[in-house]
Amino acid sequence: MSPFYPYLLAVFTNAAGELNATAVRIFQAVCDAGTAACVSLVAGRIGGRSAAVLAGAAAALYAPMIYFTGIILVATVQTLFLTIALVMLLHADDQPEQRNLLWTVAGVTLGFAAVLRPTILAVVLAVVAVEAVLAWRDRDRRRVRWRAATLLLAGAALMIAPFTLRNVTRGGEPVLLSANGGFNFFIGNNARATGVFHLPDAVDPFHDVLGKSFAERAAGRAMTYREAGAWWRARAMADIRENPVRWIGLMAKKAALFFHPVEIPQLGASFEWHRRHAWPLRFPLDARTVLILALLCPLAVAASAGRKPFSPFCGRPRYRPPTSPRWCRFS
């Protein structure tokens, strides 16, 4: 389901199929430190030095990057490249001579995050949409903003294109990254869905990752991957139409589970053992809540203290006149 994940694991795997646990943990530590640094830079850009320190420390407690039985989680590397892209985008306006380069690098990093998990494509489209709206409102910089959006798309396409070409040449289908959308939609929205990841009965995730073989047996005919995805999506839509009230309740439950203190079941018993033995992990907050707090730190500091924004990327932060309200004093 993650196009690049097998290649990432292969770097740390020997010919016998055994992972080099030491190398994995070193790489994981580098990703963790890099993400904490990027979150700190973003926080400093918005709320000043205090926010940078608080947000960086909170992001360093993001559980999937601390330990996961010697195997890298997709979210570990994905989060690093997502935050790198955020840093590039936030500082592009402060570096007009390097703006094109920063937007291209942001596109490349978002493209790399997308090949780890295709849902990041929604982030790419969201950024392009924002630039389009700003271009429409700001006629003087319309050409600059359209160029930035084009460079972002080009950078992302540079990373995505090899996987698309492989899908066309090896799989025979024009699939951008992965054909698991229909299968994932069924897992989260079928009549037996509980709000957390739960595979359908009789599906073997190790040999039938996208549920294609299961769909072919149920339909009694051969299918392409896209047809199999459509088959799973149709089953989910049938369940939703049969009981829409239940489905709305399921959506509410998913929203509540987002803040649940044990919402990362993939960490399993290994994380529970470390949580009992490592004091930083004992607080009653889960990893995702900690990361949300890390991103909220700069806003809180900016609103309450009015600290001067700090960033090593820009020599002199821009200030609005001090007559404006404290919460909107930054630009």
Residue 80 in this model has a pLDDT that exceeds 70: yes
Q: Is residue 197 part of a domain?
A: no
DSSP 8-state assignment for residue 97: G
Take residue 301 and report the two structure tokens written for it: 């500091």
| pTM more than 0.85 | no
Please give the distance of CA 14 from its chain centroid, rounded to a whole number. 28
Under 8 Å between Cβ of 281 and 261: no
Q: What's the pLDDT band for 157 if we cut at 50, 70, 90?
A: very high
- The residue with greater pLDDT, 122 or 209, is 122
Q: Which helix (H) or strand (E) holds 107?
A: helix 99-116
pLDDT per residue as tens digits for the range 223-260:
888 888 899 999 999 999 999 999 999 998 888 776 66
Q: Is residue 266 part of a domain?
A: yes
Tokens 């909220």, located at residue: 296
Find the range with the poorest average confidence among 154-168, 172-186, 293-307: 293-307
Q: What's the pLDDT band for 289 if we cut at 50, 70, 90?
A: low
Q: What is the pLDDT of residue 240?
A: 93
Within 13 Å and on the Cβ side, how many CA atoms surround 265? Answer: 6
**Domain count of the fold of the chain:** 1
- The CA-atom distances, in angstroms, between 325 and each of 304, 309, 328 are 11, 16, 6
Name all contacts of 38-43 with Cβ < 8 Å and 24+ positions apart.
Answer: 38/80, 38/83, 38/84, 38/86, 38/87, 39/83, 39/291, 39/294, 39/295, 41/87, 41/311, 41/312, 41/313, 42/83, 42/86, 42/87, 42/90, 42/295, 42/298, 43/294, 43/295, 43/297, 43/298, 43/301
Q: What's the pLDDT band for 310 if we cut at 50, 70, 90?
A: very low
Q: Is residue 113 part of a domain?
A: yes
Closest listed residue to residue 189, CA positions, set 232, 227, 229, 240:
240
Q: Is residue 86 part of a domain?
A: yes
Question: How confident is the model over 278-303, as a mean pLDDT?
Answer: 65
Residue 55, number of CB atoms within 10 A of its CB: 30
Residue 214, number of CB atoms within 10 A of its CB: 19
Q: Is residue 215 part of a domain?
A: no
Percent of the chain with pLDDT over 90: 16
Q: What is the pLDDT of residue 106?
A: 93
Q: What's the pLDDT band for 321 if we cut at 50, 70, 90?
A: very low
Residue 136 in this model has a pLDDT that exceeds 60: yes
The residue range of the domain holding 302 is: 5-178+261-328
Q: What is the pLDDT of residue 328?
A: 41
Among 9-13, 85-89, 90-94, 290-294, the range with the most confident prediction by mean pLDDT is 85-89
Q: Is residue 129 part of a domain?
A: yes
Take residue 260 and report the two structure tokens written for it: 């649940």
Residue 268 in this model has a pLDDT that exceeds 60: no
The residues facing 319 across adjacent strands are 330
* Backbone torsion region of residue 230, taken as left when φ is above 0, otherwise alpha when ψ lies between -120 and 50, otherwise beta: alpha
Give me the sign of the Cα torsion angle 251, 257, 259, 264: negative
The whole-chain average pLDDT of the chain stands at 78
Name all contacts of 314-321 with Cβ < 8 Å and 24+ positions apart.
Answer: 314/91, 314/94, 314/95, 318/94
Residue 105 in this model has a pLDDT that exceeds 90: yes
Q: Is residue 118 part of a domain?
A: yes
- The residue with greater pLDDT, 168 or 138, is 168
d(CA 27, CA 15) in angstroms, rounded, equals 20
Take residue 235 and report the two structure tokens written for it: 């089953």
Q: What is the pLDDT of residue 324?
A: 44
Q: Is residue 216 part of a domain?
A: no
Find the range with the poorest average confidence among 89-93, 143-147, 173-177, 203-207: 203-207
